[in-house]
A and B are shown apart, each in its own frame.
Chain A
Amino acid sequence: MTDLTLTVNGKRVTRDVPGETLLSELLRETLRLTGTHVGCDTSQCGACAVHMDGKVVKACTMLAHQAAGTEITTIEGLANGELHPMQKAFNDNHGLQCGFCTPGMIMAGVDMVQRYKAEGKTLDEAAIRHELEGNLCRCTGYHNIVKSIQQAATEM
C-alpha cells in the first residue's frame, strides 16, 4: 500500500491504495464516484472515460498511481450548478437510450470539442463520427450522440 494524492473534481484526496489499483477502481470503489462506468474493461468501449489534466483517458487502463498529482475530472465533476452544455445537449437531442455509455460519451465529447477548438479545426459530423472510434454504444446507432456533440460544440 502506498499513499496516493490527486485532485478529483476539484477536491484534493489522499488514499492508501495498492499498486495494482486501477483508476476506475479508485474512482468507483474507494471514492464512490460510480458515474464512471466499466463496460468492457479492455480499453475498447470508452464507458470509463475521464479527463486527466484536461485530456480524455480510459480509467480502466490506467493505474490509480499513474494519476498521482494530476487533476481528474469525472462525469460528476462536469456540471457547475447547472448541466454542462454537453450534458444538456445529450438531454435535448435524446443522445442516449440505456445510458450506460453516456458518461464516457460525454467525457469524450467534451475532450474532442476542446481539442478541435485549441487546434482551430472544425468539428463537423464526419470528424465527430471518427473521433468516437474509442466509444461504443449498443443502443442508439450513434446518430443522436453525434447530433448532441454537434450542438454542444456550438455552445461550448
Chain B
Amino acid sequence: MYPVKYHRATSVDEAKAAFTSASEARFLAGGQTLLPTMKQHLAAPSDLIDLRGIPDLAGISADGDGVRVGAMTTHAEVAQSAEVKEAIPVLAHMASTIGDSAVRHLGTMGGSLANNDVAADYPAAVLGLNATVVTDRREIAAEDYFQGLFATALEEGEMIVAVRYPRPERAGYAKQTNPASRYPMVGVLVAKTGGGVRVAVTGTGQDGVFRHQGLEQALSSDWSQGAVDGVEIGEEGLMNDIHASADYRAHLIRVMAKRAVAAS
C-alpha cells in the first residue's frame, strides 16, 4: 500500500475540515472495499479520514414511518437490530448475507453506498424500498442517487450521514452469488410500498442497480410467483462476462424475482 496519512474524526465538522485540508482525501468507513482497492494500487489517497468514531453517524432508530440507519452502522448491527427486524425484515436479512461474519463486523451501510459497487447488495434495498440518502448537506432520493458503476450523486467531500427507509407493506430479497467471490451475480428485491410495487435488480446491470418496469407492472396486478413467468426479461443492458452471460443473468433475474416474492 502506498503511504497514507490516517486521521480519526470525532465529529462531522472535524472530518470535513480534515478532508478539505488534505491534497487527496478519502473518507474511510469500514474499509472492507477501500482497503483492498488501495492494496491493489487502484486507489492512492493522500489521507484517510476514519468516520467510525463519529457519534452522529451511528445508530438505528425506528418510528411508524420507517427506519433510519446511521451511515457507520455495520452490516452485523443491521442484521441483528430488533428495530430493523420488526419494521423492515428484508433489510436485516439482506445485511446478514453480505460478505462473511468478519466482513459484516466492519463493513458499513454508508461505505457500501458511497462506493456503489455493481455487485453490492444495499443498492437494491435503497432503490427497491425507495429510501432517502441523507448527507451532510442535503437529502437525495434513491432514484437520483445511483448514477452508474461506482458513480453516485455525492459531490466531492460530501458525506453520507444516514439512510432513511420507509416501511414497506411487504418485501423480499433473493440473490445468486458468485461461488468464488460471494458477491451477487444477480440480486432482486421486490417490495410492495405505499407508492406502488418496486423491483430493484443489483449485481448485473452495466450501469449498476436498476428498476425493472416489466416485473413491477406484473407484480402490481398480481403479487405472485406465477406473475413473474409472463414477464419478458431482456438481455440488453445486462453484463456479459466470464462470471455469467447476459442470457444467463436474464434467466437469473426471473428466478430470483420469484424467490424474492416467495420470501416476502
Contacts and interface: CB of A to CB of B under 8 A. Distances in A.
Interface of A: 2, 18-20, 22, 41-43, 46, 49, 52, 55-58, 61-63, 65-66, 68, 108, 111-112, 115, 119, 131, 133-135
Contacts of B4: 19-20
Interface in B76-114: 76, 80, 99-103, 105-106
A134 B6 contact: no
B52 A111 contact: no
24 contacts: A19-B3, A19-B5, A20-B2, A20-B4, A22-B1, A43-B32, A43-B36, A46-B100, A55-B76, A56-B101, A56-B102, A56-B105, A58-B103, A61-B36, A63-B6, A63-B28, A63-B31, A65-B6, A65-B8, A65-B50, A68-B8, A133-B100, A134-B100, A134-B102
Contacts of A119: 80
A134 B101 contact: yes
Interface secondary structure of A, over-half rule: mixed
A115 B101 contact: yes
Interface residues of B, number: 27
A57 B106 CA distance: 7
Contacts of B101: 56, 108, 111-112, 115, 131, 134
Contact of B31 (A66, A112, A134): A66
Contacts of A131: 101
Contact of B35 (A63, A115, A133, A134): A63
Contact of B52 (A22, A56, A66, A108): A66
